[in-house]
Chain A
Amino acid sequence: MKKTRLMATMIIIACIFAMGCSGKKKGDADSKNGDMKDDYNFGLVTGEGGVNDQGFNQLAWEGYKRLQDEFGYNVKYLESKQESDYGANLDKFADEGMNMIWTLGFTMKDITVNAAKMNPDLKYGNIDSVCEQIADNMVSVVFRAQESTFLTGYIAGRMTETNHVGFIGAMRSEVIDQFEYGFRAGVAYAAKETGKEIDVDIQYTESFTDTAKNKSISTLMYSNGVDIILPCGATLGSIEAAKEMNKYVIGIDMDQRHLAPNQMITVAMKNVDVAVYEITKELAEGTFEGGTEHSFGLAEGGVGIAPHSDNLVPGEVLKEVEEISDRIINGSILPPKDEEGFEAFLKTL
């Protein structure tokens, strides 16, 4: 009897563990039913983060919600709990008669290409992937993140008092390279303009999720005299470090300034919502063109610095940022996206 009771207790404990592990944050499942003013149905297959992840997935869903509010289209999302869910979720949406389905991130690229091939009548979109071969009924979206990080790099270069700034990356890849070299080019541009010598510390955490490591690297950088950091991946660690040591930090992707209103000078925004909104709208308006790769930069409103950054950034700097951003749009400044481009850029200064 004693043993059974013990066993039962252990099992219950195990169940609590299991629930704790599978109990992800609940999303506001708010795809309104019966709200079909128009015949368009749009689906979004999210990554493991879910629609409340304070980043990528949430931004895409916000773009969708805007479509629903403005045009009354029917929008839905399905959250993937594991990588093996991607295919099943895509298939489910295909059965439900969606007109277009978005997937997020390069981890979903291959499976989206596959789904597009199998369902030629449906339209698909994938964010953040460079596809060698895009199916005719699919679009891929890339962001020219180097343009926004160039601007933030310029701001950092102008605002640094120790002439020492830092960049913390997650893992080396083409996408992260855009951030790093855009930022470094921006700093170099500011240094040239003001005639200063500015050092840039570069470190990689090798993880998109290890906030603790990110924080310890940030703390170390700040103690070594760095006064502004652009972190990329597991950014919450850097934000915490900045708050504790009262140094400046630059946010990434989403406007996170509420997390550190006195330390976060600006944000290198990646407006996933704009991309999703614009392209999906094209479909409804009949101007959609499949098989294309859309590149979103400053000109398209796909990237940029956070609006109203005048809280911490001096007005004169912002004015010049605006000028530079105009020059990026008209092509007289080309922020580099990789090491090669960066070396070439330095020579033109």
Chain B
Amino acid sequence: MNMEKLIKIQLTNIILATVVGFILGGIVLVLTGYNPLEAYGALFSGIFSKPKYIAQVVIKSTPIILTGLSFLVAFKSGLFNMGAEGQYLTGSIVAAIVGSKLDFPGGIHFLAVVVSAVTASALLGAVIGILKTKWGVNEVISCIMFNWFLLYLNNYLITTPWLKKPNAEASYEIHETAWSLVAGKWKTTEKGIAALSGSGSPFAEMLLRTDLNYGIVIAVIVAVIIYILYKKTTTGYRLQSVGANINASRLSGIPVEKNIICAMALSAAISGLAGALTITGMMPHRLSQLRVHEGYGFSGIAVALIGANSPIGCIFSGLFYSMLEYGSSSIQSKTGAASEIMDLVIGTIIFFIAISSLFRIVLKKKKGESKHE
């Protein structure tokens, strides 16, 4: 295939950016006195050598796939959702409250937690949308404000005796009926541990040693729904057209304001879902005092970008991102190099995807040179 055509495909750009990222990370490793091959070897063996490591990657990818999708939905409608962090917190706060304060039978409790968390953060998104359409408040500003507001609300709630667990810097755990773990409580009982560790199979180990949960299934379903929404439905078309050209949309009779509010609410709802699934699916199933944001929202932006702004792409880029994140601790423990090296690699990849036109320019110049010869 023609080089120029190849470089126009987003996937090629992503692969090129990844290679550049790893090379740059390798250079830094050499400069700080570590063997890059050894470090990257540790990275990949830390991800693929056991089924449970892969499970960890999948578990860690669930929230960022969702925040990535959340960013994507807003972006398709021309909105820049910097508030996934706050919406994630809304979801987790509501999930923790509903999960620990109410009693339902298993399964229904999980549904109640998820539905209430999603509703709450959708409302938050709608507020941001209304602020924008009614009073012209830029969504970036209001999102960032809500991020901090919710961070401190989270910290405040954990000081109230109603929610704070005595002698802990955290809230009460949610009830087991609301957990979304695979094999939930059974695997922490003596019998479960004996059965699982006795079998010796790597999959039993995976079940025993990780918080494997159903969250990833939900994340994939959400991605597929969003894909269908944009490809096949008029609602999706309207949402997208607002982002593509707001004036043309208005002229052709699309209610622009309503669509902006809807897009923001949908976007926030997905981030809220990420928060709820983290509380239900991962130990320790509770809120804790936060010094800074956990970074799921910003990782989501990166995931959406690496995923080339496609819902299905987000699944893979989320997995890729969490692979690097999870694998980085192996680099730290096996070679002693700082785990931040992987942050650098990820940063470089994002940077090069953002300026992917650079590859095109380099290619053109080279072509020009070869013509001169």
Contacts and interface: CB of A to CB of B under 8 A. Distances in A.
Given A14-B82, A18-B295, A84 B282 contact: yes
Interface residues of B, number: 54
10 contacts: A14-B301, A22-B295, A24-B340, A26-B338, A31-B336, A43-B333, A84-B278, A106-B169, A107-B168, A174-B167
A11 B197 contact: no
Nearest to B85: A21
A25 to B, nearest CB: 9
B89 interface: no
Contacts of B52: 91
A87 B169 contact: no
Size band of the A side of the interface? Answer: 35 or more
A110 B299 CA distance: 28
A82 B298 contact: no
A244 interface: no
B333 A15 contact: no
Interface of A: 8, 10-12, 14-15, 17-19, 21-24, 26-27, 29-33, 43, 48, 76, 78-79, 81-89, 91-93, 95-96, 106-107, 110-111, 114, 117-118, 171, 173-175, 206-209
The 5 closest A-B pairs by CB, nearest first: A18-B298, A29-B338, A206-B159, A173-B167, A29-B336
Interface in B312-359: 326, 329-330, 332-333, 335-340, 343, 347, 350-351, 354-355
Contacts of B193: 117-118
A79 B339 contact: yes
Interface stretch (B94-102, B262-270, B283-291, B361-369): B283-291
Interface of B: 46, 50, 52, 56, 60, 80, 82, 155, 159, 166-170, 188, 193, 197, 208-211, 278, 282-284, 288-289, 291-295, 298-299, 301-302, 305, 326, 329-330, 332-333, 335-340, 343, 347, 350-351, 354-355
Contact of A92 (B166, B197, B329, B354): B329
A198 to B, nearest CB: 30
Contacts of B167: 106, 173-175
Contacts, number: 126
B44 to A, nearest CB: 15
B103 to A, nearest CB: 22
B159 A171 contact: yes
A126 to B, nearest CB: 13
B340 A21 contact: no
A32 B50 CA distance: 26
Contacts of B210: 87-88, 91
A195 B278 CA distance: 58
B246 to A, nearest CB: 11
Nearest to A79: B339
Contacts of B293: 21
Nearest to B294: A82
B77 to A, nearest CB: 14
Given A29-B337, A118-B209, A92 B298 contact: no
Contacts of B155: 207
Contacts of A15: 301-302, 347, 350-351, 354
A174 to B, nearest CB: 5
Nearest to A114: B188
Given A19-B343, A174-B167, A111 B284 contact: yes
A65 B347 CA distance: 32
Nearest to A108: B284
A110 B305 CA distance: 37
Contact of A26 (B208, B340, B355): B340
B355 A8 contact: yes
B329 A89 contact: yes
A118 B335 CA distance: 27
